[in-house]
Structure 1
Amino acid sequence: LEVVEGMQFDRGYLSPYFVTNAEKMVADLDDPYILIHEKKLSNLQSLLPVLEAVVQSGKPLLIIAEDVEGEALATLVVNKLRGGLKIAAVKAPGFGDRRKAMLEDIAILTSGQVISEDVGIKLENVTLDMLGRAKKVNISKENTTIIDGAGQKSEITARVNQIKAQIEETTSDYDREKLQERLAKLAGGVAVIRVGGATEVEVKEKKDRVDDALNATRAAVEEGIVAGGGTALLRAANALTVKGSNPDQEA
């Protein structure tokens, strides 16, 4: 088990055609570039220079934007299906000012820049060194997990301290809750479980078992657990006052 710099947010892929593992319905991108864009993308004309640079690099690309719609989404899907571009797109997490702050969190985590005309950066002028990087990104229907972002430890720590200061200063319970969510996402990191085996079949079987264990653990955390072996039913029976209509029911 290894804990690395990373983050998970509650936005999944914008199209199932981005999936790379049809069995688990997830998109896995290894060592991708990450484009962080503040606005909607409805066409890709202004994005062509950086897309061509990404294709030349041979690396996958993750686009995080307010939305990717219409012609832009259709073009990305077609390129993905043709095999010319390893790509996935997700909506940015949050809303309004909170979305801007979370995009900045992601940029710091991945050592990228938020592409925003508010700070004078236009899409057509974006270069590869403005994009974020991570060792891996895992995207499901509902969540995106960035694993081992390329951001500097010192910059991430400074951002964490900035959020902590904002938590201390705010008088709004709602703002405090949202700031604490951001703090947990940025400071918590991502745990990586490494699974090995002598053959590919053995590795796959072990990974499936680990996935089952993780899902069971998540369910236990969210919904709670009861004692096994019929103990919970036995204890619940003591609290019942229902009277049976015959001796068999009483037993």
Structure 2
Amino acid sequence: MYRFASSLASKARVARNSSHQIGSRLGWSRNYAKDIKFGVETRALMLKGVEELADTVKVTMGPKGRNVVLEQSFGAPKVTKDGVTVAKSIEFRDKVKNVGASLVKQVANATNDTAGDGTTCATVLTRAIFAEGCKSVAAGMNAMDLRRGISMAVDSVVTNLKSRARMISTSEEIAQVGTISANGEREIGELIAKAMEKVGKEGVITIQVSSVTLLLCIFCIIFLQVVLLSKLIIPLLGHLFLN
């Protein structure tokens, strides 16, 4: 009788643990469940996220753009007029709106990685293309035909811009561009021009926060990771000691 009761108790514990594990798995799957949405209402919510993000970012456009104050989790608020920095700080509670905003963030990040500037302009253009695209699709236009039309228009605009662009070569021209990017700070623009003149097109310029304005040039070779044999490196550099 004792063995029978002990066996029943053991089976009950196993069943309870199994049900707990199943319940935990179900809870885990619910947390990662996806909402699938279609149609005009979904596009409208995505467009709303795009527009609200673009409205916040667009005030920073150009040399006379205004600053945006960003709340931070720790420390004092951050004041900036960098478009991609403002875009990255925006999150919406609504998931669909957040998807629309994330699309614009991808454009801003890609522009920043490629050109290093122009993120606000890219955000405003993305907002306009997305808004007009939603109107065209709602009117019955095929989405893939719309995409091909946008690609053709982009190629035409890029060709036109390249025909109008001109290369800058003098330090004065570089200083002018740097001054505009530095919100009209002529001193910073001239410092950038001097740095580029010293290191050339292939040089690396690193900016650090400091209490003084200083330009320091170091002419050297930096190895981030040495994997070659010393007998292959020494003939090239003379003497190299590997610790």
TM over 0.5: no
Higher relative contact order (CA 8 A, sep 6+): 1
Range of TM-score over shorter length: under 0.3
Q: TM-score, normalised by structure 1?
A: 0.26
> Which of 1 and 2 has greater Rg?
2
